C-alpha cells in the first residue's frame, strides 16, 4: 500500500474534520437503495452512518484497519464493519443489492477492484459512486503553504472518469447527477481538515507544526471573518451490474 493511501495514520483528524455529505446528496442516493447495501472504502464511516440513519441496511468495509477501528467506536446506528480492501473482499458472490463508494473510488478504480465489486453485486445490482466532479479542482492554498515551508511538491491525486471506468469494466452507466454547494470552515477546523488529506503523510513530521503555523498566519491575513469557504462539487454515477 502506497504512502498516499495510508489514511489510518490520519484517522482521528479524518473523523473529526471530514464533513458529512449534504442531505440532498444522501437523499438522492438512498432513493436508489434497496435490500442489502455495502459501502466500500467506508473510512471512518461518515457516509455509512448517514445511510444507516435513513434506515438503509448497510455494512461498511475499508482496507485500513485503523479507519475501521474508528468507525466501530460509533455505537449508533449499529453497523457491521469489515477490514477488506476493495480488490479482495471476503463477502459471498452476489451478496449485495447495492454497493456505494463515497469519495473513495479514485483509490480503487482498477479493473481487479471493479471485478470484485461486480462479484459481490447481485444481477441488476447497482454500484453508486460519489466522486469529485472532473475539472472542479479549487485552488489549494494549504498545499501551497506546505510547499513553501518544506520545499516539497506534495502529490496530487487525479480525479477519475467514473463513467469510462464503468464502461471499460462491464458496468452499464444508467444515471449521472451533479451536486454543488459550499462549506464554511473556521481556520482551525480547516487546518484539521487539511491534516486528514492524504498528502499530509508526505509532510515531514518535524516540519508539520511549522507548516500549520505558516498556514494559520496566511489564512488569518487573507480570509474574511475567520471563515474559509470550500466548494464541494460532486458527481453521482450509478452503474448496473448485468
Q: What is the pLDDT of residues 139-188, one digit of tens each?
A: 689 999 999 999 999 988 778 999 999 999 999 988 999 999 999 999 99
Domain residues of the chain, as ranges?
3-138+158-181+232-241
CATH class of 3-138+158-181+232-241: alpha beta
Q: 97-113 pLDDT, tens per residue?
A: 999 999 999 999 999 99
- Who contacts 240 (Cβ-Cβ below 8 Å, separation ≥6)? 124, 125, 126, 127, 171, 172, 174
Cα distance between residue 108 and residue 45, in whole Å: 17
- Who contacts 185 (Cβ-Cβ below 8 Å, separation ≥6)? 193, 227, 228, 230
pTM of the predicted model over 0.75: yes
Q: Are the C-beta atoms of 163 and 237 separated by less than 8 Å?
A: yes
Amino acid at each position: 500500500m502506497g504512502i498516499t493511501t495510508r489514511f489510518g495514520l490520519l484517522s482521528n483528524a479524518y473523523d473529526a474534520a471530514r464533513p458529512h455529505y449534504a442531505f440532498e446528496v444522501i437523499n438522492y442516493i438512498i432513493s436508489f437503495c434497496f435490500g442489502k447495501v455495502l459501502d466500500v472504502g467506508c473510512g471512518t464511516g461518515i457516509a455509512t452512518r448517514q445511510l444507516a440513519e435513513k434506515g438503509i441496511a448497510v455494512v461498511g468495509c475499508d482496507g485500513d484497519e485503523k479507519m475501521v477501528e474508528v468507525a466501530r467506536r460509533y455505537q449508533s446506528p449499529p453497523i457491521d464493519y469489515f477490514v477488506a480492501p476493495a480488490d479482495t473482499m471476503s463477502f459471498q458472490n452476489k451478496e449485495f443489492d447495492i454497493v456505494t463508494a463515497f469519495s473513495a473510488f479514485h483509490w480503487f478504480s482498477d479493473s481487479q477492484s471493479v471485478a470484485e465489486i461486480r462479484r459481490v453485486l447481485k444481477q441488476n445490482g447497482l454500484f453508486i459512486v460519489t466522486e469529485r466532479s472532473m475539472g472542479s479542482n479549487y485552488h489549494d492554498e494549504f498545499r501551497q503553504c506546505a510547499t513553501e515551508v518544506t520545499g516539497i511538491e506534495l502529490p496530487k491525486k487525479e480525479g477519475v472518469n467514473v463513467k469510462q471506468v464503468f464502461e471499460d469494466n462491464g458496468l452499464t452507466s444508467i444515471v449521472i447527477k451533479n451536486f454543488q454547494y459550499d462549506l464554511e470552515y473556521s481556520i482551525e477546523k480547516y487546518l484539521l481538515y487539511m491534516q486528514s488529506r492524504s498528502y499530509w503523510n508526505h509532510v515531514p513530521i518535524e516540519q508539520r507544526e511549522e507548516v500549520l503555523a505558516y498556514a494559520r498566519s496566511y489564512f488569518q491575513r487573507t480570509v474574511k471573518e475567520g471563515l474559509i469557504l470550500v466548494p464541494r462539487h460532486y458527481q453521482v454515477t450509478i452503474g448496473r451490474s448485468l
